[in-house]
Structure 1
Amino acid sequence: MQTIPFLKYKAKKESNIDLMKKGNKEAFIKVIKQHELTLYRVAKGILKLEEDTEDAIQNTIIKAYEKISTLKNDEYFKTWLIRILINESNLIIRKNKKLVPIEEIETEKYHIDSYENIDITRAIEGLSENLRIVTLLFYYEDISIKDIAKILGIPEGTVRSRLTRARKELYEIMREDGEVEL
């Protein structure tokens, strides 16, 4: 008599993204906590004021929770989340298009962030917004050029040229400040 080997049923473990799509709040919190620093760095790179940065992050988390079911490809969750954050940051910028009191500008100028190298952080802050965003995403968040292009909705060649321009401008800024020797 021939025996049939016992087949073990192995249930596929659901990813946190799958659990999030089913409404699991704990999975959502866990994934958001994994991306906290990324969200902060990107928002801070776009927005100057800490309050605006916090608002953008909070709005992003709420929108991501509400719209998680619209995420088509789970592996692009981080890209999708950053795109929401950039949109929310841009909304805040549009709402804040007004005069800023001089006192606010002076205190903001000397604000020290928790980045390791404050000189390079200040140099990056001196870049135009489109150069600053690609620099932060590429160097601080280690996001590929291809993914940055998707996030920003621009061609990969544009991302490359912005990174090149940003490097040149950073070199000039650092050289003027005496940080880089010839």
Structure 2
Amino acid sequence: MDSQMELDVLRAQKGDHEAFTRLIKAMEPSFYRIASTIMKSETDSLDAAQETIVKAYLSLHTLKEPRYFKTWVTRILIRECMRLLKVKNKVVPLNLDINTQQPEASIEEKLDVRDGISRLESEYRVVISLYYLQDLSIKDIAEIIDQPEGTVKSRLSRARKKLEKWLSNDTEAGGIRNERI
């Protein structure tokens, strides 16, 4: 996190509403990307993001280390998404904008990956989304979902194996590898 963001966190903790607004504006695109990988609809994604902002504002004083603001607020967002899913008791397909490192990937291949990810259980979908789409480290993911790093690694491994199995059954490309999607 940059020093300006840390200063804004400190200012916001002292009641500076403009500093809090700057923090949220900097995080907005990330909020929506994360929420849309977990929630079923755009409306639910926006609801989760909005609830996260309110909860972050109300509990900002509990954040002890300003440098961990991004991790802290991302954890709030994921918990809010999971809470909303429980309340609505929904099955969660994904709405992802799949970015591949291979520019030659066809739309069909991207849709196959999207479909495969949407078939994963939420615990796998969350780690896959945070790792590949948000480019977070295993350590950061472990902090966000409040699980040991080994759990994150095993969930990533299991998710990759499931995706590879599904994709190899659906395509002749052989599925995905252990590289970033």
TM-score, normalization: structure 2? 0.78
- Structure 2: which amino acid aligns with 1:53? S
For the pair 1:56 / 2:48, whether they are aligned, the reply is: yes
1:172–1:37 Cα change, 3 Å: farther
Structure 2 unaligned residues grouped into runs of 5+? 100-109, 176-181
Partner of 1:126: 119
Q: Verify the 8 A CA contact 2:116 2:166 in the aligned structure 1.
A: yes
Fraction of identical pairs, as percent: 43
SS where residue 136 of structure 2 aligns? Answer: coil
Partner of 1:169: 162
The one-character-per-residue Cα deviations of 1:91-142 (angstroms, maximum 9, x if unpaired) are 21122127x9xxxxxxx98x96544444423321121110110111111112
SS where residue 180 of structure 1 aligns? Answer: coil
| Backbone CA RMSD of aligned residues | 2.6
What does 1:108-123 align with in structure 2 at a 5 Å threshold? 114-116=97-99, 117-123=110-116
What does 1:35-50 align with in structure 2 at a 5 Å threshold? 35-50=27-42
* Number of aligned positions between the proteins: 162
SS where residue 34 of structure 2 aligns? Answer: helix
For the pair 1:154 / 2:157, whether they are aligned, the reply is: no
Partner of 2:89: 97
Shift of 1:74: 1.1
SS where residue 15 of structure 1 aligns? Answer: helix
Partner of 1:143: 136
SS where residue 125 of structure 1 aligns? Answer: helix
Larger of the two Rg values belongs to structure:
1
The one-character-per-residue Cα deviations of 1:20-54 (angstroms, maximum 9, x if unpaired) are 21222222222222222221222122211222111
Structure 1 unaligned residues grouped into runs of 5+? 1-11, 101-107
Give the Cα–Cα distance (whole angstroms) in 2 for the partners of residues 16 and 164 of structure 1. Answer: 37
